[in-house]
């Protein structure tokens, strides 16, 4: 019974750490770039866009497709960085325990 009680206590501690980690993701800021830094996107740790920066030289009203593609590329760059940061934080919470493949938090 002592093992069961210990496991329950560890599970509660992990749940508390997980909740704290998820709350801290709002504070995490990650920048993605494209076009040699001419387009920058800021995301928080939950993948929500918090900012967009465009170099004035990239804005061409006659060619919006390039700008659209660069924004998407910058967002995707930031998203990859957010996912890596979240995985790193998860290692801290889970004590390095490997989670099942495809198990992603908070998304």
What is the pTM assigned to this prediction?
A: 0.73
Cβ atoms within 10 A of the Cβ of 67, count?
A: 17
Q: Is the pLDDT of residue 84 over 60?
A: yes
Task: Looking at the structure, give the CATH architecture of the domain made up of residues 2-94.
Answer: 2-Layer Sandwich (3.30)
Can you say how many angstroms the Cα of residue 98 is from the centroid of all Cα atoms in its chain?
19
Q: What is the mean pLDDT of residues 36-56?
A: 95
Domain borders along the chain are 2-94
Nearest Cα residue to 93 out of 13, 9, 5:
13
List pLDDT tens digits, range 66-79.
999 999 999 999 99
How is the chain split among helix, strand and coil, in percent rounded to 5? 55, 15, 30
């Amino acid at each position: 019974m002592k093992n069961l009680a210990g496991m329950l206590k560890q599970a509660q501690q992990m749940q508390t750490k997980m909740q704290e980690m998820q709350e801290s993701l709002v504070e995490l800021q990650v920048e993605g770039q494209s076009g040699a830094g001419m387009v920058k996107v800021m995301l928080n740790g939950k993948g929500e866009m918090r900012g967009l920066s465009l170099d004035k030289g990239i804005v061409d009203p006659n060619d919006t497709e390039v700008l659209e593609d660069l924004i998407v590329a910058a967002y995707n760059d930031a998203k990859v960085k957010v996912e890596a940061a979240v995985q790193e934080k998860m290692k801290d919470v889970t004590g390095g325990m490997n989670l099942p493949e495809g198990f992603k938090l908070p998304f």
